[in-house]
Amino acid sequence: MVEPIRMSSEEERMEYLEIARNNPFLLHSENVIIDLLTDSGTSAMSAKQWAGVMEGDESYAGSRSWLKMEAEIREQTGCEYILPTHQGRAGERILYGHLGGAGTIFISNTHFDTTRANIEFSGSSAIDIPIAEGKEPSLEYPFKGNMDTEKLEELITHHMPQNIGAVILTVTNNSGGGQPVSMANAKAVGEICKKHDVLFIMDSCRIAENAYFIKHREKEFENHTYKDIAKEMYRLTDGAVMSLKKDGLVNMGGFIALKDPELAEACKNLLIITEGFATYGGLSGRDMEAIAQGLKEVFRPDYLRYRIKSTGFLGDNLHKMGVPIMRPTGGHAVYIDAKAFYSHLPVDQYPGQALVLDLYKKGGIRAVEIGSVMFGTYDANGKLIPSPMELVRLAMPRRVYTQSHVEYILEVFQELIREKDNAKGVRIVKEPKFLRHFTAHFEVMG
Ligand code: F0G
């Protein structure tokens, strides 16, 4: 698929930003030159996937397309019970809403924003325990997405196993910089959960990208196929939630996969109330055809090599230019350490959001802040409790941009480097209670 890109001037973009209240989520996509807002649902589909779309079986119950999707997910996850959902957060709401509620807690390497929001919305709390290495952007470490297993053991003992809704391992760890989780870590987490009889769920949005890193960084797996690595990881868990908008290589879709029949039955009942019948869950038959095919393609060595190398190309070149990024480069995105790049801006002037605005103004590049706008909270006096890191994510859509698009991004950064000491902070002028980054309004400080 080929999409035209409409070029715009810096003056025009200043105007678009004003209308969008300095929030990139409120920009119109036709006013964006290179869209790195997300890798979610932005993949280009293959000819085979489009061919599948033509064959979609739109039956309400038991459609052929569903059976194909179910078989592929069952084979990969090793889970007996597969529930389709229209995207990841629908599965999160169903599963975590059911397991959560006041008095329960969830523990993760890092909860993604929608995961945390669904958990907190149920009245439950979400605790992040990434390893210490994962919190240091410039540190080179192969598996910065790992969970701190000592803390996990402590937390389970402290809060008591019966109060733990689930332990969630997010692979790769999106909010922690798109960093991979090792098989050894997944195994250790699984063993602790088993010992305490706590449910172990994987958020497997980017499991194929994670498998790439395991094969090339964890010696024991160098001769395994990517798919077998993913299967092995699923085997360690009690189930998974996946947004197929990432490693499903589709524009829409998700699933819940479970091993326990009672839990699956409870989730199925909730699914039917809000998402649709259990053999489509909010998806059309043609979506399910594309998913069944995308889940196969994503594990192909040529695809995965292209994918990880092209993200690495952007990351390595920014690094060479002296832009502080989360090292080493993760799978789906490059994360810029905005606190270090705009070191003159204090965290309550949101350096990440400031960089997002400058990237758009300078080059029409849309990125997203993953820092105190997304995760900051306030203390009793209304003072900001900042996020541990102030990152800006440049997420790469799958199979969309070429090396020359990336070279354009690098040129824009050259200009930002020259002007960085003059960058201005931002303040929030309007915000909702949950997921504020999507709809908040900002003002650039004078
Ligand atoms: N879990 C992770 C790790 C995610 O990255 C996302 C989405 C979700 C769950 C929710 O899935 O969007 O299909 O409802 N991440 C996107 C992103 C939005 O930009 O990183 P969803």
Quote the distance between the C-alpha of residue 267 and its chain's center: 23
Looking at residue 433, its pLDDT comes to 85
Rounded distance, CA 391 to CA 108, Å? 19
Looking at residue 2, its pLDDT comes to 77
CB neighbour list of residue 406: distance below 8 Å, 6 or more residues apart: 310, 313, 314, 317
Looking at residue 372, its pLDDT comes to 96
432: preceding bond cis by omega (within 30 degrees) = no
Q: 242: CA distance to ligand 1 center in Å?
A: 9
- Tell me the CATH number for domain 47-297: 3.40.640.10
Ligand 1: which of 109, 210, 243 to mutate, most ligand atoms within 8 Å of CB?
243
172: preceding bond cis by omega (within 30 degrees) = yes
Looking at residue 126, its pLDDT comes to 98
Question: Which pTM was predicted?
Answer: 0.95
pLDDT at 43 exceeding the cut of 80: yes
Q: 342: CA distance to ligand 1 center in Å?
A: 27
Report the nearest atom of ligand 1 relative to the CA of 243. 13
Looking at residue 146, its pLDDT comes to 98
Query: Look-up: residue for tokens 């890798």?
Result: 39
Looking at residue 164, its pLDDT comes to 98
pLDDT per residue over 332-346, tens digit each? 999 999 999 999 999
Looking at residue 149, its pLDDT comes to 98
Ligand 1 within 6 A of CB of 146: no
Domain range annotation of the chain = 10-32+300-439, 47-297
| Residue 148 in tokens | 């701190």
Ligand 1 within 6 A of CB of 331: no
Rounded average pLDDT over 220-233: 98
Contact 137, 337 (CB under 8 A): yes
pLDDT per residue over 73-102, tens digit each? 999 999 999 999 999 999 999 999 999 999
pLDDT per residue over 157-202, tens digit each? 999 999 999 999 999 999 888 999 999 999 999 999 999 999 999 9
Rounded average pLDDT over 110-123: 95
| Residue 284 in tokens | 């059309």
Quote the distance between the C-alpha of residue 407 and its chain's center: 24
Q: 388: CA distance to ligand 1 center in Å?
A: 20
Q: Which residues pair with 200 in a beta bridge?
A: 167
Looking at residue 4, its pLDDT comes to 87
Q: 237: CA distance to ligand 1 center in Å?
A: 20
At 291, the pLDDT band (50, 70, 90 cuts) reads very high
- Tell me the CATH number for domain 10-32+300-439: 3.90.1150.10
Q: 40: CA distance to ligand 1 center in Å?
A: 7
At 129, the pLDDT band (50, 70, 90 cuts) reads very high
Ligand 1 within 6 A of CB of 284: no
Chain length of the chain: 446
Neighbouring CB atoms inside 10 A of 316's CB total 16
pLDDT per residue over 68-78, tens digit each? 999 999 999 99
